[in-house]
Amino acid sequence: MELLTGIFSAFGLSASAGLNAYIPLLAIGVLDHYTNLLNLQKPWDTLSNPWILILLGILLIIEMLADKIPTVNHVNDLIQTVVRPAAGAVAFAASANVITDVNPVLALALGLFVAGGVHATKSVVVRPAVTATTGGAANMPVSVAEDVAATGVSLLAIVLPLAAGTLLIVAAALFIWWWWNRSNKKSPAA
């Protein structure tokens, strides 16, 4: 059971990094530093260093502000195309290594893939659709919702990893269903 909770926690944290790179890293670091919920192993325990926590807090504020400003949010998404998958890789590897002895290269690759997939969906599918349908008026509320979701999923992934894993599976299934229906509507009937 510990293996399953460790894996669900890792997937939840890396998915959160696809929405906001710094929320899951900050959550991992703060919870490791101030509570007994996490006990990060080397080298991932660096995330709980007070100076790293301050740096992550500053980067989080910058990303949150940049994501709320029209036009700047598009530049931010381009920059985050590298940062979010990397943060997801670190979050996955750090959290998976708490409970399990997952191969670090595999953990980094899985985190990179999950966070990269969430980021790509956000920046290539969701945000352009929101901008196009609302003339950009809904970008700020959607950005706030993404930050709230990233925070909630990060905390849920640490405290109740099975619930976070179930939530992610349901969300992925709904997205695939939506994408499938959307693709079938575009193709002409035979």
Residue 190 scores a pLDDT above 60: no
State the pLDDT at residue 174. 81
CB-based burial of residue 163 (10 Å sphere; 0-12 exposed, 13-18 middle, 19+ buried)?
Answer: middle
Mean pLDDT in residue range 110-125: 90
Which percentage of the chain shows pLDDT scores above 90?
Answer: 39
State the pLDDT at residue 3. 62
Q: What is the tens place of the pLDDT at every residue in 135-173?
A: 878 888 989 999 999 999 898 888 877 776 677 777 777
State the pLDDT at residue 144. 92
Residue 180 scores a pLDDT above 70: yes
Q: HEC profile for 32-57?
A: HHHCCCCCCCCCHHHHHCHHHHHHHH
C-alpha closest to that of 183 among 117, 120, 118, 125 = 125
- The model's pTM is 0.82
The full set of domain ranges for the chain reads 2-186
State the pLDDT at residue 105. 84
Which percentage of the chain shows pLDDT scores above 70?
Answer: 91
Buried b (16+ CB within 10 A) or exposed e, 28-64: bbbbbbeeeebebeeebbebbeeebbeebeebbeebb
pLDDT bracket for residue 108 (50, 70, 90):
confident
Residue 82 scores a pLDDT above 90: yes
